[in-house]
Chains A and B, each alone.
Chain A
Amino acid sequence: MTGLPLVTEVPTWDMDFALEILPDILHAFLRYTLVITALATLLAAVLGMVFAVIRYSRIPILSHVTTGFVQFTRATPIPVQLFFVYYLLPDYGITIGAVTTGVLVLGVHYACYFAEVYRGGIESIPPGQWEACTALSLPQQTVWRRVVLPQAVRKILPSLGNYVISMFKEVPFLVFISVPEMVTVARGIGGDSFRYVEPLTICGIIYLLASYPASVAMRRLETRLEHA
């Protein structure tokens, strides 16, 4: 008797296919995911510092504007910010490439988190350090560059590391603006071949292999710095 054919379309793992697409996915990971994470981290590190110093210096209007901007950015999700910059700004005559938009949005978004971490780091500097700077009549620039920031950075490195790892895992949001990072490429492969298991599993494994050792390293660093 011939009944309806059983649906046997349970996805199975095709090793040959997996190996065939691996280079493309790996390439997207190295070329885009990692590079975007690195550039956005750099931007967040520098811009976050600027935000923190402005807020901490209590410059009349500028400090308030910065605080407002930081709160606003932290309170809105990254995809919304991406859409806004990539699809809405061109209407106002500002056109930014997809990759640049990705770096910019992630960098600015995390700069707002970094700024808070820096602020905590700056506030952790004992008052005696500031007083010693005054007693030695060190110029303000030297106080920040040679005394306060080097000490603050050591205390905040673990939190910054954790934010970088979390930013790294948010790079796939850039699929919304078609940046050819790893998950976008995997999704493309899936669409073309109707096989999603292999590309997405590979993405997951690559992410796991990259971020797990990173978070273990951060935890080690954390304990190391605590005892330093």
Chain B
Amino acid sequence: MSTPESNPPPGGEKSFIHFKDVIKEYGDLRVLDDLCIDIDAGEKVTLIGPSGSGKTTILRLLMTLETLTAGYIWVDGKPLWHQHKGDRLVPADQKHLREMRKQIGMVFQHFNLFPNMTVLENLTEAPVRSLGRPKEEAVARARELLDRVGLAEKESAHPNQLSGGQQQRVAIARALAMDPKVLLLDEVTSALDPELIAGVLAVLRELAETTDITMLIVTHEMHFARDVSDRVMMFDKGKIVEEGPPSQIFDAPEHQRTQDFLSAVLGAR
């Protein structure tokens, strides 16, 4: 974690999500190298690049699953990993992190549903225990979301009774039950059998088109990325190589690294 500074660095209010000089290291390995990112509210951004290029780390930093080595991240005008103490920024305490997390939801590659709970309980647990919503309200909202992901009839099933695709749709609904402002999607179709991917992508497409949730997407589904993203960022070795609207990145990539990556990924199909 970075050391406190006497003055909060400027730029906190500029954009909805703001990375300033973010560095993440695992031992000697630098996975994010002095990264600056700005993302607007409601924007759908896809992160592409070879594995180990730092895409997933960005999502994990936003979800506070990894700690920051240096730099600052702002979400909706508030520092994520720091808090104000007088006019200084100091490392955030657990209470601040908990509050910040409530605005951010994440869907994982391996779903991570709670196997000891029913589908409905998976969706109501956090709104009730974390946001303090009344049980009936949480149940009503959960049913609405299950209907939306096409699994209304599965509410009393346990996760292990569902297919991978169904589990992932439940996981998406579970994240949405918290009404997050930001939704992080970390390779959500990578662990699925090919025939189950379409159903999950359809749910996400609908979500991207009909909501103003800010979405950060790490995926290898390039057609999906092209369809839903406002912007695509190409990563390599912890830096952004190139970014722009999907039409530019996919149809006319400027950098050799992007061209190589895309032809490798698309050529493999």
Contacts and interface: CB of A to CB of B under 8 A. Distances in A.
Interface of A: 126, 128-129, 131-132, 134-139, 142, 146-147, 150-151, 154
Given A137-B126, A139-B129, A154 B116 contact: yes
B130 interface: yes
- Determine the main DSSP class of B at the interface with A: loop
B102 A137 contact: yes
18 contacts: A129-B114, A131-B65, A132-B108, A132-B113, A134-B63, A135-B63, A135-B104, A135-B106, A135-B175, A137-B98, A137-B101, A138-B125, A138-B129, A139-B129, A142-B125, A146-B114, A146-B117, A147-B116
Contact of A136 (B110, B115, B116, B130): B130
Contact of B116 (A137, A142, A151): A151
Interface residues of B, number: 25
Interface of B: 63-65, 98, 101-102, 104-106, 108, 110-117, 125-126, 129-130, 174-175, 178
A151 B101 contact: no
Given A134-B63, A134-B65, A146-B125, A139 B130 contact: yes
A137 B64 CA distance: 10
Contacts of A154: 116
A128 B108 contact: yes
B129 A142 contact: yes
Interface centre among B65, B112, B178 (most CB of A within 10 A): B112
Contacts of A135: 63, 65, 101, 104-106, 108, 175
Given A131-B65, A137-B130, 15 more contacts: A128-B111, A131-B106, A132-B108, A132-B114, A134-B65, A135-B63, A135-B105, A137-B98, A137-B101, A137-B178, A138-B126, A138-B129, A138-B130, A142-B125, A147-B116
A150 B117 CA distance: 10
A20 B130 CA distance: 64
